[in-house]
Amino acid sequence: MIAPAKKKPDPKFPRAKISHAVEGVLKGKPFEIRVADSSIGNLKIVRVITPARKSLRPGARIGKVLDAVEPHLTPQERKGILRFSVLTPEEYQDVVLGKPAKPKAALVK
């Protein structure tokens, strides 16, 4: 019997560096990092999923994370990342997974 090969994570991808930098900017708030392959070469899409800072518009959230992460990455590591996203869990469900967020209860008058 031949077992299917498991895909190993890319050893060159700086997941620990990114996680440490995001942890510093979110200051103890929960977060999760999801890395996806893009259809462009070997570039990656990095998504930070957190309920923190959901009052900020998406561009401001991404800017804060990029400002924290970029000093920790080498130029070569930065070239391997196509895009960063900072999403709330609800936005991630809706945008990435294509599942609409659970509807809120309708108000009864």
Q: Where do the domains of the chain lie, and which CATH numbers do they carry?
A: 15-96 (3.30.300.90)
What is the C-alpha to C-alpha distance for residues 52 and 87, in angstroms, rounded to an integer?
Answer: 9
Compute, in degrees rounded to 10, the torsion defined by CA atoms 64, 101, 99, 8.
Answer: 40
Position 66 scores a pLDDT of: 92
Compute, in degrees rounded to 10, the torsion defined by CA atoms 31, 37, 42, 46.
Answer: -20
pTM of the model: 0.73
How distant, in Å, are the alpha carbons of 34, 88, 94, 96 from that of 79?
A: 18, 26, 28, 23
pLDDT in tens, the chain (109 residues): 576 666 655 557 899 999 999 998 888 889 999 999 888 888 999 999 988 877 888 888 899 999 999 999 999 999 999 999 999 888 888 887 776 656 655 555 5
Position 5 scores a pLDDT of: 64
Position 56 scores a pLDDT of: 84
Position 23 scores a pLDDT of: 92
